[in-house]
Amino acid sequence: MKSLQPELERRKQAHLYRARRVYDSPQGPEGVVDGRHVLSFCSNDYLGLANHPEVIAAMQRGAETYGAGSGAAHLVSGHSRAHHVLEEELAEFTGRPRALLFSTGYMANLGVMSALLGRGDSVYEDRLNHASLIDGGLLSRANFKRYAHADMDALQSQLQGHAKGEALVAIDGVFSMDGDIAPLDRMATLCRGADAWLMVDDAHGFGVLGEQGRGTIDRFNLGLKEVPIMMGTLGKAVGTSGAFVAGSDELIETLIQQARSYIFTTATPPAVAEATRASLRLVQKDEWRRERLKTLIGQFRQGAEEIGLPLMESETPIQPIVAGTSEQALKWSRQLEGEGIQISAIRPPTVPEGSARLRITFSASHTPEHVERLLEVLSGLELSEA
């Protein structure tokens, strides 16, 4: 058996080694990480609901009612009333006939593509899609085709060349590392013209964009006909855990019958479903959370412009600063850490070679003072080295 140490050393030398941090506090703008108090700008808890008292209380009641675990997969004995009602509420919220819970967004994406596609079919993806979409496409055994980021002319050309089998276009509603929004309106038109499914992974749009936080699809005023498959995660803006797929009755029934990542996985604890139901009500009710996010993002972008900080085009809570090399991104991250600010360095293969970055994310729990502190520290970074 070969030693694994040389590869680990190679990663360290290439500035690609990853290390976990230990949190001793709940999710929030301020917390204790590795024993130090930090101001964090690297969580996906966009609406600040992960530590909300109503969500915590709902989880506690759920544990008292259902216990700590689900005990089995959904199709055995693990599908509780809490799961069932949450699926109904997600379907109603997204304006779709049905919804189906998955343990993670990764498993949802793998499940959808493996259930709907196979040899002889084709899947089309943006080069900056999330790893779960890429892996789902590859594992489906369909013909896997990629196009340059947001290049709709390239996608149109590829779809026009589709000759046989099923076709599915999979896309991030909001790109997780760049923060930009996919051109879903044009994509929907292209897919309908090519008789292809359009699947939107709205992990970073659900809860943040659209009316009451219904997501990127709602922002473009698209419906079930234009976007037959919607995937949303519950561990980001919703603040709990898990994911769901929403669509037609026949889609959901097909996934129940054929999605291996659904069939062969223990269901999430019912207490998590109860917490998610409470959080979903807050997502719909608390419009001020999305308004505060917009205000904080605007404050940050204006301040960044004033200090000459190069930002990418993004109106979402994801605001990246590209460093270029992994070494530079790590250097910036460590400089920030020294000032008590936590922002992770994102490096290949999460992002393409040459585009390592700081991925700054905002939460409705941040304050204007937090943003001012961030800008103050960022102004001291040696940006000229990027």
List, in order, residues 6 or more apart from 373 with CB less than 8 Å away: 39, 341
**CA proximity to 239, closest of 264, 206, 268, 195:** 206
Output the CA–CA distances (angstroms, integers) from residue 84 to 129, 200, 273, 329, in the order listed: 30, 23, 9, 44
Which is the catalytic residue, given 176, 314, 363, 365?
A: 176
Pairing of the two strands 318-324 and 243-247: unpaired
Catalytic residue among 52, 83, 145, 236: 236
Measured CA distances, 116 to 188, 189, 245, 252 (Å): 19, 21, 13, 11
Please tell me the distance from the alpha carbon of residue 363 to that of residue 41, in angstroms, as a whole number: 8
What separation in angstroms does the CA of 261 have from each of 52, 108, 258?
30, 7, 9
Q: What are phi and psi of 250, to 5 degrees?
A: -70, -30
Residue 236: active-site member: yes
Cα separation, 268 vs 37, whole angstroms: 32
What is the DSSP track for 343-372? -PEE-TTSS-TT-EEEEEE--TT--HHHHH
- Among the options 83, 130, 204, 366, which is catalytic? 204
Compute the distance between CA of residue 148 and CA of residue 129 in angstroms, rounded to an integer. Answer: 10
DSSP code at position 78: I
Q: State the virtual CA torsion across 148, 149, 153, 154 in degrees, nearest 10.
A: 30
Q: How far is CA 158 from CA 11, 125, 144, 329, in A?
A: 36, 11, 11, 35
Active site residue 384: no
Whole-number Å distance between alpha carbons of 386 and 377? 17
Count Cβ atoms below 10 Å from residue 225 Cβ, excluding itself: 10
Cβ atoms of 201 and 236 closer than 8 Å: no
Q: For this structure, is 74 an active site residue?
A: no
- Which residues are marked as active site? 176, 204, 236
